[in-house]
Amino acid sequence: MTVRVKICGITTVEDALMAEEAGADAIGLVLYRHSRRYVDLQQAIKIKQVLSRDTLCVALVVNEERDFVNQVINHLKPSFVQFHGDESPDFCHQFNYPFIRAIRMREGLDVAHEVAQYKPMGGFLFDAWHADQYGGTGEQFDWQRLPLQRKFSLILAGGLNPDNVAQAVVAVNPEMVDVSGGVEQNPGNKDPLLVASFIENAKSVS
């Protein structure tokens, strides 16, 4: 099966259309105010409106209040909410809405224990750990820490770029790869050539 590609940190309608045209299966909208790729809810809605029905729209939130998550669900209606912070299983499950659970690979993390606590319809996204940042660090973690035998959908993130994504797909065999900074000219501004190269390199080996 061909790996799917998510281009995260999209901030403009133009970049969303460009990523979709290049073959992206999903785009990520960062609704986290402290991110350099932050978009507010109104901008997120504008971006989603231009996407085709075949392109997944993922809304990334970090340690948000319940009311705001409900606003995202009711007004943006994303394909998935991506919980990328320290949200508890109870918090994620209370909305009865499809979600992706991000797991930041801190040292000593018991992956099996973490996975057992959540039931995300969109799978688990594994990202590099950083004490002060929730994603978008451009840092890579040791892929060997991920289980080769698994009963969940795996999304690989963390330091991916056009040069290493093919290697990542071969090594991890993820259902999806996720990139943000690795295809940018500067934070929030995607480079069309890098986006196209990333998607082509990811899909060519899967």
| Extended strands (E) in 137-197 | 154-156, 176-179, 184-186, 189-190
Yes or no: say if 206 and 169 are a contact pair by the CB < 8 Å rule: yes
In whole angstroms, what is the distance from residue 139 CA to residue 159 CA? 4
Yes or no: say if 198 and 183 are a contact pair by the CB < 8 Å rule: yes
Residues taking part in catalysis? 8, 127
In whole angstroms, what is the distance from residue 116 CA to residue 138 CA? 27
CATH code, domain with 172 = 3.20.20.70
In total, how many domains does the chain have?
1
Domain that holds residue 198: 4-204
Side-chain-side CA neighbours of residue 109 (13 Å): 19
- pTM, entire model: 0.94
Q: What is the pLDDT along the chain (206 residues), one digit of tens a residue?
A: 799 999 999 999 999 999 999 999 999 999 999 999 999 999 999 999 999 999 999 999 999 999 999 999 999 999 999 999 999 999 999 999 999 999 998 887 889 999 999 999 999 999 986 656 555 556 788 888 898 889 999 999 999 999 999 999 999 999 999 999 999 989 889 999 999 999 999 999 96
CA dihedral 106, 190, 164, 111 (to 10 degrees): 20
Give the contacts of 126 (CB within 8 A, at least 6 positions apart): 102, 103, 105, 141, 146, 154, 155, 156, 157, 158
